[in-house]
Structures are given as structure tokens and as C-alpha cells.
């Protein structure tokens, strides 16, 4: 690796660590509703802790944490915690055991055995709410035996320590050639200072045999002096010194060469270490998780194709095209040699930033309207998230080759969907198509053209690409605040109709329950038993997704004047094309697209005062977060509606 690439890799590591350190530590999460939604398993889980021996005196202690379903023979969670395993820190790992286990499906047990009484005291209230019995067992078996074996294995593999008077020349020479480098582990460790991070290791390999002589985790970031320390300790362990050591880290070479020269060992700087790096890639690939589709696994995908994609994705994220679209509006994309597909810029009407690509215009419309899901369609999704969203193999290659990532929250993951198949990785041709889409879309949505053709370029789209808006969609997206019911003649009958915010016409039908009683529902079908008028005591209701219902008239706890106050605030800040208003009981809920963003709750019936909340997307918790004390609705709407669809929305905490 060149000195420049090494510096890029180290800067990426520092940026990731700094980002984690700058983020405020969050309190132990309690996603009560998500835990309640999990199926309850008639089983006991065991939580085990085992302190790992420190490699050197003064090192911060590490703890192995395991959560096991003994009867089901499943390991729900297995990780390492640096520092004191407090109830809050261990609870964050417990959430993984509940919601994203290593083995088995997400679920909650009937009984939980914990190794410390403070865990039971801290978790008792929450566990009681989700009907999980908790008891203390300081040495639960067999999970304690498993962690004991894990600790012994770690200790047995550790290298001997160097004495102060160590001299490599005292060891006999051999004809071996070793390779040495740093490796960024795909495993996650919880650290009190930096939060969640990925540790670094030093790898030493015998080139001819392929045997890994050292795979030692090191604290902190990689430093060149650690290379000599571990090379010398490996020499001590195998009781010999190699003839030659190869290294691709130029900074490490500058530091290592004088030491090896003194030990009569050749030190050679190479651009690449294919044998060692092939092992690193295999190691990273072995840590893949569910739902993570590695680009490296795609059919015929090579390093050049991945590099082009990551450069295009970084440019796309930096230009933030979601700020230039009024909502989820399909865009036709025709790339030479690939035909025409339909793309939707993600981010304006939700928290997911990225791009969705559908096979046809109708698929895109069906997806937006909620009539279908990805499991029924063919297409691609590119989403930008934190590092953990990527498959470990892709993370390794990004760091190894210095491919650009726009920010610590902008790692691009790709999933390819096909009906009847699990999500997978795109092929080489499909990855090239996505790179062309990502490259051209930001410029197109920021401009005024209805149709635009982009020629192929060396640093941009690899092929000619043509983009088109739907007629009338760019400047005047079809939308209604609330459509009124109207009558129309269908097949000779006068039927109740409703045109929703997506310009779809729904017709009121009458059916029968199993007991023969009448039931009423809206459908887009214009034939069947149509109703000529709304039944007494019923009203038309359209939800934020544009779905239409015939429901019993609800009590009016919010006045029409108050609803209009919120709508006016939305119009005044220019958000009327991406935001809508819904009313549920005493709550006025503002949606950005189909997603809730603000809630104004009536707290004082006499003075008509309200309290504001924002929808919180924090980790695995989806819930309302209170924003301020009780105020008049006009003031709250003016203060908060201007943040809809803006980055400032996420600062309101």
C-alpha cells in the first residue's frame, strides 16, 4: 500500500472514532413497544459475564458477555465490553439478544437469569412490563462454561511478552518469509469512551504455508511501533527469526526496517500483500450478517466496478438531491444498453436517504401508493447509513483501497430485490447502471429541464444516460390537502366516490359480514355493489398513505379552525407539497409524506392549549419525544412546521 493510501485509511479510522466520540452518549434504550410486539417464548435465557485477562498491566479490563437460550441451544448474543459492564451498557447488548440475535428469531423469553443483582434492579420494571421474569444467578451454567472456554482460548493464543533485554539475534535464523499488516476487525466492541467501535488487529502470516502466526487485537488506532512489538513476540513464540518480512504499510516500513536490519532480517516494502489481504477478505466475509448484501459477492463484480460505484455514491450524498424534490416522484432513467427503469429519490418524505430503482413506472406508482411491497417487485435500493449497514467484506475493501465515503453516516448499501427470492447483491452490469443513476440524478433534480441526456464521461456516468420527469410532476406535483366525497355515475348507478391525495378514485361498496350484516368499504374497482350515498353515522377517512376508509363518525375533539391553523403554517413555510395533516382524538399529527414528524396534543380544553412532540428515530426506538411546555397552537405550528424536511428537524431534542 502506498503512503498516500495508508494515510487515507488512517484518516478514515480517525474520522470514524472521532465521530463516535463526539456523539452524546445515550441512556439505556427501552423500546417497550418493539419488545412487546415480539413473540413470547416459553424458555429461560442466561446472561453470563467473564473478565478477560489483560495482555499488559495497566490495560483497561475487558469482559466477555454472552446471552444464551440453553434449551433451544441458541447463542443470542456474544460480544466483548471494554471497561465496567454497567447495567446500561449491558442492556444495550441485551436489546441485540431480543431484536437481532446471532441465532434464532427475534423474541422474548419467559425467564431471564442475570449474573449481578444490580442488573435485576435496573431492568426489573421494564422486564415486568414485557412479562419476563428475572432472577439472579452469579454463575449461570452452561453459558459461564462457554465464556470460560472462550477466555482460556484467548489466553492460550496470546503471544509471550518481551523481556527488557530481548535480542532477536539470540534466536536461530530460518528461511521463512513473513507478511505483516494491520487489520480492521469486523466485530463490534462497546467502549465507554467511544461508544460502539471496531478494533484493530496486527496480523503476521507465514507466506509460503499461509499459516497465521499472529492475530492480536490492539487497543486504540494502529501505530507503526506496534508492528515491531508483535513481530518480535512472534519470533519469540516460534523460537526463530524469519529471513524476510514483507510489508505494504510505508509508515510501518520506515519504523520497522532499522529494527529488522539490526536483527539481520530483510525488510521489503511492497505495494500489495496478496496472500495476507486475501486472508483478511476471507475473514471479513465470514462475519457477514442477515440482510447485508456484499457488493463483493455480486456476479462478475470487480474492484473497478466497486470503485466507480463508491465514487458516484459519495458525490450523490454530498449533493443531497432529496432537498430538490418535493416528494416521492418517479423519474424515468434510460442508460444505454440497459433499457429504461424508474427511480425515486429517497429522503424528502422520510429519514431514509438514498435511491430506489424499479423495473417499471407502474411498479414505482404501486410502491408509493402502498399497494405492493418490495417482496413482490423487482428492483434495487441504495440506502445511506452508518458503517454497520455495510457487509464486513465491503467495509474491508473500502478501507483497503481508500474508496470515498461522504461522511460517517453515508456508507452506501445496496440490495437487489426479486419476487420469491431473498434480497441479494447486484451483478456487475446492475452496479454500473446504479453508478450512472447516482451520478446524474442530483444535477437533473436540481435543474428545470423536463428531460435531459447526459453523455458518458471519464469521471461520471459510464454510459449515455437520459432522465425524464413525469408530465407535470416537477413543478406541480398532484396533491390535495383533503378531497371531498362526490357523486358520479358508474355503470348506470350514482355512486359515492372519493379522489385521494394521489389522484386515485375510490368507490364506496357495500358487502356483507358472515352474519349477514351490511359492511361498507372503499375500493378502486368501479363495479360490484356500489353505494349511492354514505350510510347514516359514517364518514370518509383518508390516512396519510392515501388509503380511503368508510368509518363511523368520530367525536370532534379538534375544531376545523385548529386544523386550518396547522395547514396554514405548513403553507406559509412552503411545505404544502410534502406535508399533510391528520387528526386522531386530541392529537393533530403532521406527516412528511407517509411518515409522522410532529404531533400537537390538546392539553387544556378550556384554554385550547397544546403540547408539541416530534417523532423520534433514535436507534431501534420509534416513539414521540416531547419538545416544549404547553402553548397556543398557532405559536407551536409556527415554531415547528418550518423544520419539516430539513436537517434542523433532527436537532429538535
* pTM for the full predicted model: 0.54
Q: Are 405 and 363 in contact (CB under 8 A)?
A: no
Distances (CA, A) of 285 to 9, 148, 209, 416: 19, 27, 21, 19
Q: Are 569 and 641 in contact (CB under 8 A)?
A: yes
CB < 8 Å & 24+ apart, contacts of 488-495 = 490/526, 490/527, 490/530, 491/526, 491/527, 491/530, 493/530, 493/532, 494/532, 495/526, 495/530, 495/531, 495/532
**Average pLDDT of the segment spanning 265-291:** 80
pLDDT in tens, 241-267: 999 999 988 888 999 999 999 999 999
Share of the chain above pLDDT 70, in %: 83
CB < 8 Å & 24+ apart, contacts of 626-630 = 627/652, 630/603, 630/604
Distances (CA, A) of 46 to 116, 134, 408: 12, 10, 35
pLDDT at 312: 92
Mean pLDDT estimate for the chain: 80
pLDDT of 10 above 50: no
pLDDT of 154 above 60: no
**Average pLDDT of the segment spanning 402-423:** 89
- Residue 237's contacts (CB-CB under 8 Å, 6 or more residues apart) are 159, 160, 213
pLDDT at 7: 41
State the cell numbers at 238: 516460534
Question: Is 347 buried (19+), middle (13-18) or exposed (0-12) by CB count in 10 A?
Answer: buried
Q: Are 79 and 73 in contact (CB under 8 A)?
A: no
pLDDT at 132: 92
Q: Are 399 and 390 in contact (CB under 8 A)?
A: no
Task: Give the DSSP letter of residue 651.
Answer: G
Domain with CATH 3.30.420.230 in the chain: 32-157
Band of the pLDDT at 577, cuts 50, 70, 90?
A: low
pLDDT of 438 above 50: yes
CATH number of the domain at 32-157, please? 3.30.420.230
Tell me the β-bridge partners of 384: 353, 412
DSSP notation for 315-336: HHHHH-GGGG-SSS--EEEEET
pLDDT of 486 above 50: no
pLDDT of 288 above 90: no
Q: How many residues does the chain have?
A: 653
- Residue 566's contacts (CB-CB under 8 Å, 6 or more residues apart) are 581, 588, 590, 600, 633, 637, 641
pLDDT in tens, 464-482: 888 888 654 544 443 333 3
- Residue 138's contacts (CB-CB under 8 Å, 6 or more residues apart) are 115, 116
**Average pLDDT of the segment spanning 338-362:** 84
Band of the pLDDT at 57, cuts 50, 70, 90?
A: low
Of 283-297, 400-414, 498-512, where does the model show the most confidence? 400-414
- Residue 647's contacts (CB-CB under 8 Å, 6 or more residues apart) are none
Q: What is the 3-state secondary structure (H, E, C) of 248-288?
A: CCHHHHHHHHHHHHHCCCEEEECCCCHHHHHHHHHHHHCCC
Secondary structure element (H or E) that encloses residue 638, with its range: helix 633-640
Q: CB neighbours (10 Å) of residue 265?
A: 21
Strands (E), 88-199: 108-114, 133-136, 177-184, 189-191, 195-197
Tell me the β-bridge partners of 344: 356
How far apart are alpha carbons 98 and 108 in whole angstroms?
A: 6
How far apart are alpha carbons 587 and 600 in whole angstroms?
A: 6
| DSSP alpha helix (H) spans, 27-138 | 32-37, 87-99, 117-129
Which residue in the block uniquely carries the three cell numbers 526463530? Answer: 240
pLDDT at 291: 57
How far apart are alpha carbons 241 and 176 in whole angstroms?
A: 8
Dihedrals φ, ψ of 156, to 5°?
-65, -30
Amino acid at each position: 500500500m502506498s503512503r498516500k493510501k495508508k494515510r487515507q485509511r488512517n484518516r478514515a479510522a480517525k474520522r470514524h472514532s472521532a465521530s463516535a466520540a463526539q456523539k452524546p452518549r445515550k441512556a439505556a434504550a427501552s423500546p417497550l413497544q418493539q419488545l412487546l410486539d415480539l413473540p413470547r417464548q416459553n424458555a429461560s435465557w442466561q446472561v453470563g459475564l467473564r473478565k478477560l485477562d489483560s495482555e499488559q498491566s495497566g490495560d483497561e479490563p475487558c469482559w466477555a458477555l454472552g446471552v444464551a437460550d440453553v434449551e433451544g441451544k441458541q447463542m443470542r448474543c456474544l460480544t466483548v465490553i471494554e471497561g465496567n459492564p454497567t447495567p446500561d451498557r449491558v442492556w444495550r447488548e441485551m436489546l441485540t439478544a431480543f431484536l437481532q440475535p446471532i441465532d434464532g428469531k427475534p423474541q422474548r423469553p419467559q425467564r431471564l437469569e442475570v449474573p449481578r443483582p444490580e442488573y435485576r434492579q435496573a431492568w426489573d420494571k421494564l422486564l415486568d412490563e414485557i412479562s419476563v421474569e428475572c432472577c439472579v444467578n452469579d454463575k449461570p451454567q452452561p453459558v459461564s462454561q462457554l465464556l470460560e472456554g472462550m477466555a482460556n482460548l484467548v489466553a492460550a493464543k496470546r503471544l509471550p511478552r518481551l523481556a527488557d533485554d530481548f535480542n532477536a539475534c539470540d534466536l536461530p535464523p530460518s528461511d521463512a518469509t513473513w507478511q505483516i499488516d494491520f487489520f480492521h476487525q469486523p466485530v463490534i466492541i462497546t467502549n465507554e469512551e467511544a461508544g460502539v467501535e471496531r478494533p484493530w488487529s496486527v496480523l503476521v502470516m507465514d507466506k509460503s504455508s499461509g499459516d497465521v502466526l499472529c492475530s492480536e487485537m490492539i487497543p486504540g488506532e494502529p501505530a507503526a511501533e506496534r508492528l515491531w512489538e508483535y513481530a518480535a513476540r512472534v519470533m519469540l513464540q516460534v523460537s526463530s527469526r524469519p529471513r524476510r518480512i514483507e510489508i505494504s504499510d510505508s509508515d510501518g516500513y520506515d519504523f520497522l526496517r532499522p529494527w529488522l536490519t539490526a536483527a539481520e532480517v530483510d525488510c521489503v516494502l511492497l505495494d500489495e500483500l496478496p496472500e495476507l489481504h486475501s486472508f483478511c477478505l476471507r475473514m471479513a466475509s465470514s462475519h457477514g450478517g442477515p440482510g447485508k448484501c456484499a457488493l463483493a459477492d455480486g456476479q462478475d463484480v470487480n474492484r473497478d466496478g466497486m470503485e466507480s460505484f463508491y465514487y458516484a455514491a459519495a458525490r450523490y450524498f454530498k449533493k443531497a438531491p432529496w432537498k430538490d424534490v418535493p416528494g416521492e416522484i418517479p423519474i424515468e432513467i434510460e442508460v444505454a444498453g440497459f433499457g429504461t427503469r424508474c427511480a425515486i429519490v429517497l429522503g424528502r418524505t422520510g429519514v431514509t436517504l438514498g435511491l430506489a430503482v424499479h423495473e417499471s413506472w407502474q411498479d414505482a406508482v404501486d410502491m408509493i401508493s402502498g399497494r405492493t411491497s418490495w417482496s413482490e417487485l423487482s428492483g434495487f435500493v441504495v440506502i445511506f447509513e452508518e458503517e454497520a449497514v455495510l457487509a464486513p467484506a465491503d467495509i474491508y475493501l473500502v478501507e483497503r483501497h481508500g474508496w470515498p465515503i461522504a461522511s460517517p453516516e453515508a456508507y452506501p448499501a445496496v440490495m437487489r430485490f426479486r419476487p420469491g427470492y431473498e434480497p441479494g447483491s447486484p451483478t456487475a452490469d446492475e452496479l454500473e447502471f446504479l453508478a450512472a443513476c447516482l451520478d446524474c440524478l442530483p444535477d437533473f433534480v436540481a435543474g428545470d429541464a423536463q428531460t435531459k441526456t447526459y453523455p458518458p464521461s471519464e469521471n461520471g456516468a459510464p454510459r449515455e444516460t437520459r432522465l425524464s420527469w413525469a408530465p407535470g410532476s416537477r413543478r406541480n406535483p398532484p396533491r390535495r390537502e383533503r378531497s371531498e366525497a362526490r357523486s358520479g355515475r358508474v355503470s348506470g348507478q350514482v355512486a359515492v366516490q372519493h379522489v385521494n391525495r394521489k389522484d386515485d378514485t375510490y368507490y364506496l361498496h357495500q358487502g356483507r359480514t358472515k352474519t349477514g350484516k351490511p359492511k361498507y368499504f372503499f375500493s378502486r374497482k368501479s363495479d360490484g355493489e356500489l353505494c349511492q350515498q354514505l350510510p347514516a353515522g359514517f364518514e370518509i377517512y383518508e390516512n396519510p398513505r392515501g388509503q380511503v376508509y368508510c368509518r363511523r363518525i368520530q367525536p370532534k375533539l379538534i375544531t376545523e379552525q385548529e386544523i386550518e391553523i396547522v395547514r396554514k403554517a405548513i403553507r406559509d413555510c412552503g411545505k404544502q407539497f410534502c406535508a399533510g395533516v391528520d387528526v386522531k382524538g386530541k392529537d393533530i399529527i403532521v406527516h412528511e409524506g407517509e411518515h409522522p414528524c410532529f404531533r400537537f396534543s390538546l392539553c387544556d380544553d378550556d384554554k385550547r392549549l397544546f403540547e408539541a412532540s416530534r417523532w423520534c428515530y433514535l436507534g431501534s426506538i420509534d416513539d414521540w419525544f416531547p419538545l416544549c411546555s404547553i402553548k397556543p397552537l398557532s405559536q407551536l405550528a409556527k415554531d415547528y412546521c418550518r423544520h419539516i424536511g430539513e436537517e434542523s428537524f433532527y436537532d429538535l431534542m
